[in-house]
Structure formats: C-alpha cells, structure tokens
C-alpha cells in the first residue's frame, strides 16, 4: 500500500488511477495523516468485511451452542462434502 501526500495526489491523479487499476491501494495523506484511500471499484469496504466477520462469529457461536444434529463424521465424509460443495 502506497502513501501519497495530497498535493502530489492532485498533480498526479491520472497516474494514481492507473496504479489503482493495476491493483494497488493508495492512501492519500494531509500533514502526514491518512485522509483518503484509493481502491479499485468492486473491492469490498473494510466495514463490509468487518460486518461479514461479525456475522460469521455469531453463526459460529450459534452452531457451537446448539446440541441438535451433532454427530461425529469421518474424514472421508468431510472430504466428500467439500467436493460436493465445489460442484
């Protein structure tokens, strides 16, 4: 992740866009403090990622506390389930 001062970002905006298109993430700073982030369109925001993580944690707790349907499975059953999910 590159860091670029605001003045440089203003003068080289086209170059920065090319770098973002190539997959780079750029943080724009003002007085050495981050104020903005340039990322490619379609990349999930940090808030979206955190929300998804919280949802997964809640689901994990729910599954862990549930006694219904718990049973041991073999390694072969586990691998078969993974392969079926890939289809």
| CATH number of the domain residue 32 falls in | 3.40.1620.10
* Phi then psi dihedrals of residue 26, to 5 deg: -125, 130
Total domain count, the chain? 1
Mean pLDDT of 42-48: 71
Query: What is the distance between the alpha carbons of residues 45 and 42, in angstroms, rounded to a whole number?
Result: 9
What is the span of the domain harbouring residue 26?
A: 1-87
Query: What is the distance between the alpha carbons of residues 46 and 52, in angstroms, rounded to a whole number?
Result: 10
Q: Which two tokens stand for residue 68?
A: 């219904």
Nearest to 39, CA basis, from 21, 61, 13, 63? 21
pLDDT at 63 over 90: no
Task: Identify the pLDDT of residue 10.
Answer: 95
Q: Which two tokens stand for residue 41?
A: 């369109």
Mean pLDDT of 27-48: 86
pLDDT at 15 over 90: yes
């Amino acid at each position: 992740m590159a860091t670029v001062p605001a003045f440089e970002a203003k003068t080289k905006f086209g170059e920065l866009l090319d770098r973002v298109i190539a997959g780079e993430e750029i943080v724009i700073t003002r007085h050495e403090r981050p104020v903005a982030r340039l990322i490619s369109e379609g990349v999930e925001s940090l808030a979206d990622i955190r929300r998804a993580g919280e949802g997964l944690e809640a689901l994990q707790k729910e599954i862990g506390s549930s006694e219904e349907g718990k049973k041991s499975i073999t390694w072969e059953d586990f691998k078969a389930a993974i392969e079926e999910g890939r289809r």
